[in-house]
């Protein structure tokens, strides 16, 4: 797939220092292809193809039609309507739109998956079960069998 | 005073069941069921309902707390208020804002419970054993994996597939691009390890 | 409508306890303890000791029964077990085998 736009190699810094569009967010447009690491302080919208770590302080949107392959995706709020292979660690909420195709683990303050989204991976929200079911969250992840008495 | 015009079972708010619940029909849990639930109909876990083991049914709607795996033949809906520690598997899974989950979630063909005779894709299916019905369901996964190959790596790959420029290559990921991956032996914790062992039979 | 209904076809193996009333139309094996009325419908199968404020049996029950108020075995019911309640009625057509203790 040859891109009509330049293909950045190596780390791409989005946000305050390296905006790819004139708006307050950084955008990797549909035909663009990035191989390498993306870091930034602002928001990031990915509409193209990205392979590599993604780490932004702001919100991340993976638009429908976009493809991201990444061992590690970090952001504030994350909205996914495209394809993602990789793990997400969000400091805010994570949301998979109906067109999302995600394979990987998701972590966030909350995770919502819309009906129709395809997902395969772990969800790790922080919460406690009621005391009748064992209470503390840590007990379960270490092995349900031992926690159940 | 017949109540079974529709085959609905309701575990009331102040009711506690310590044991298994299974059979045809729909089930609503408003109280506490500390045992496996396996019904052919729909299961609703109400807001203050609690289930301390796995739940299997056609459509599962969860608004309460579950400590166990959820397996739906058709769909699973986790609504605001739901707290689930366990795996969630169904062809369609919807997790609403406010629902909290800790476990493996799988939608689509890989998320389907092995057909209870209704699904055309049901190939060889070992007989349902009352305990640990998870085991036969997991052995079903290898038949489905070739269909998943087009989606790239098998279910448990945490890192991107080998073809990615980024580094990680995991044992379970297929080394060739489109070769059907070997049967997936999930790396799971706790009780699930037993399932993995059972699958080796 | 009862607070808890065990529908026909459903089987519960284990212990059921409730603060309210319960209707069993399915199968219960184990133990059943209610603070209020227990109804075992025609067609239901209960293999358990049963406790409640009152008990109406229309189906099959194997187990000991303790009710604080009354026990009614309806026509068509089949009960094997001891019954302990302040008042007991066994209808014509009920099958019963066990002891009856009304000295509560």
Q: How confident is the model at residue B94, as a pLDDT?
A: 97
For residue A9, the 8-state DSSP code is B
Query: Which of C14, C15, C27, C47 is the mutation pick for testing B, counting most B CBs within 10 A?
Result: C14
| pLDDT tens digits in sequence order for chain C, 104 residues long | 779 999 998 999 999 999 999 999 999 999 999 999 999 999 999 999 999 999 999 999 999 999 999 999 999 999 999 999 999 999 999 999 999 999 86
DSSP A132-146: GGT--HHHHHT-HHH
- The backbone torsions φ and ψ at residue C67, rounded to the nearest 5 degrees and listed phi first, read -130, 140
Q: Where are the domains of chain B?
A: 8-111, 134-199
Question: What is the average per-residue pLDDT within B19-35?
Answer: 97
Whole-number Å distance between alpha carbons of B3 and C9? 13
Q: How confident is the model at residue B193, as a pLDDT?
A: 45
Chain A residues touching B111 at Cβ < 8 A? 120
For residue C101, the 8-state DSSP code is E
Bridge partner list, C46: C28, C61
Percent of chain B with pLDDT over 90: 50
Q: What is the mean pLDDT of each run of 10 residues along chain A (149 residues)?
A: 54 50 73 94 96 96 97 97 97 96 94 96 92 71 47
> C-alpha distances in angstroms, A142 versus A146, B42, B106, B179, C29?
8, 30, 21, 34, 33
Name the least confident of A64-73, B1-10, B166-175, C60-69. Answer: B166-175
Residues B179-200 have pLDDT tens digits of: 565 665 555 544 444 444 444 4
Q: How confident is the model at residue A30, as a pLDDT?
A: 95
Strand ranges, E, within chain B: 8-11, 15-23, 26-29, 32-33, 37-39, 43-45, 50-51, 55-62, 65-67, 70-78, 83-85, 88-89, 92-95, 100-106
Asked if C64 and C80 touch (Cβ cutoff 8 Å), the reply is: no
> C-alpha distances in angstroms, C60 versus A137, B49, B178?
44, 30, 59
Q: Is the minimum CB–CB distance between C3 and chain B shorter than 8 Å?
A: yes
Cα angle: C44, vertex C49, C50; to 5 degrees: 70
Q: How confident is the model at residue B168, as a pLDDT?
A: 42
Report the half-sphere exposure of A115 (CA within 13 A, side-chain side): 7
pTM as predicted: 0.73
Residues B107-132 have pLDDT tens digits of: 987 666 555 444 444 444 444 444 44
Q: Where are the domains of chain C?
A: 4-101
Q: How confident is the model at residue B112, as a pLDDT?
A: 60
Local structure of B145: helix, strand or coil: helix
What is the number of other CB atoms lying within 10 angstroms of the CB of residue B168?
A: 14
Asked if C26 and B22 touch (Cβ cutoff 8 Å), the reply is: no
Q: How confident is the model at residue B67, as a pLDDT?
A: 98
Separation in Å, CA of C99 to nearest CA in chain B? 28
Residues B34-72 have pLDDT tens digits of: 999 999 999 999 999 999 999 999 999 999 999 999 999
Q: Is the minimum CB–CB distance between B136 and chain A shorter than 8 Å?
A: no
Shortest CA distance from A122: residue in chain B:
B104
Q: How confident is the model at residue B155, as a pLDDT?
A: 42
Asked if C25 and C4 touch (Cβ cutoff 8 Å), the reply is: no
Q: Is the pLDDT of residue B143 over 70?
A: no
Q: How confident is the model at residue B199, as a pLDDT?
A: 47
Out of A35, A95, A141, closest to residue B102 by CB: A141
Q: Is the pLDDT of residue B162 over 60?
A: no
What is the number of other CB atoms lying within 10 angstroms of the CB of residue A141?
A: 14
Angle between helices B134-149 and B192-199 (to 10 degrees): 70
SS (H, E, C) A85-129: EEEEEECCCEEECCCCEEECCEECCCEEECCCCEEEEEEECCCCC
Q: Which residue has the higher pLDDT, A149 or B6?
A: B6
Strands A118-124 and B100-106: antiparallel
Chain B residues touching A52 at Cβ < 8 A? 165-166
Chains linked to B by 3 or more Cβ pairs within 8 Å: A, C
Q: How confident is the model at residue B185, as a pLDDT?
A: 59
* Cβ separation C4–B26 shorter than 8 A: no
Report the half-sphere exposure of C95 (CA within 13 A, side-chain side): 9
Asked if A122 and A105 touch (Cβ cutoff 8 Å), the reply is: yes
* Cβ separation C15–B15 shorter than 8 A: no
């Amino acid at each position: 797939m040859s891109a009509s736009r330049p293909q950045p190699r190596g780390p791409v810094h989005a946000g305050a220092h390296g905006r790819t569009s004139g708006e307050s967010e950084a955008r990797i447009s549909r035909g663009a292809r990035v191989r390498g690491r993306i870091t930034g302080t602002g928001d990031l919208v990915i509409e193209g193809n990205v392979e590599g770590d993604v780490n932004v302080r702001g919100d991340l949107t993976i638009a429908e039609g976009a493809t991201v392959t990444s061992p590690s995706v970090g952001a504030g709020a994350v909205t996914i309507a495209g394809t993602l292979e990789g793990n997400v660690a969000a400091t805010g909420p994570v949301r998979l739109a109906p067109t999302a195709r995600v394979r990987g683990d998701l972590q966030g303050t909350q995770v919502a998956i819309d009906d129709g989204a395809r997902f395969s991976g772990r969800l790790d929200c922080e919460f406690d079960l009621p005391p009748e079911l064992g209470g503390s969250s840590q007990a379960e992840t270490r092995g349900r069998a031992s926690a159940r008495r | 005073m017949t109540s079974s015009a529709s085959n609905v079972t309701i575990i009331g708010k102040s009711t506690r069941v310590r044991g298994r619940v299974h059979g045809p029909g729909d089930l609503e849990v408003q109280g506490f069921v500390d045992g496996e639930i396996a019904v052919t109909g729909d299961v609703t876990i109400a807001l203050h309902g609690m289930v301390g083991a796995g739940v299997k049914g056609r459509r599962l709607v969860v608004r309460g707390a579950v400590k166990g795996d959820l397996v739906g033949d058709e769909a699973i809906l986790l609504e605001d208020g739901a707290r689930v520690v366990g795996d969630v598997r169904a062809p369609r899974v919807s997790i609403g804002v406010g629902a909290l989950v800790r476990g493996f979630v799988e939608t689509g063909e890989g998320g389907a419970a092995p057909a209870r005779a209704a699904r055309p894709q049901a190939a060889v299916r070992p007989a349902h054993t009352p305990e640990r019905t998870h085991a036969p369901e997991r052995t079903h996964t290898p038949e489905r994996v070739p269909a998943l190959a087009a989606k790239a790596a098998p279910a448990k790959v945490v890192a991107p597939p080998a073809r990615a420029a980024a580094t990680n290559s995991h044992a379970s990921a297929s080394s060739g691009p489109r070769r059907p991956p070997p049967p997936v032996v999930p790396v799971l914790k706790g009780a699930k390890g037993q399932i993995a062992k059972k699958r080796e039979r | 409508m009862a607070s808890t209904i065990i529908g026909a076809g459903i089987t519960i193996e284990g212990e059921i306890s409730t603060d309210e009333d319960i209707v069993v139309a399915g199968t219960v094996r184990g133990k059943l303890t209610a603070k209020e009325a227990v109804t075992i419908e025609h067609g239901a199968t209960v293999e358990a000791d049963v406790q409640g404020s009152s008990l109406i049996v229309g189906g099959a029950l194997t187990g000991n029964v303790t009710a604080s108020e009354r026990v009614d075995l309806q026509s068509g019911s089949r009960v094997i077990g001891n019954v302990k309640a302040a008042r007991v009625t066994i209808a014509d057509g009920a099958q019963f085998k066990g002891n009856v203790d009304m000295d509560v």
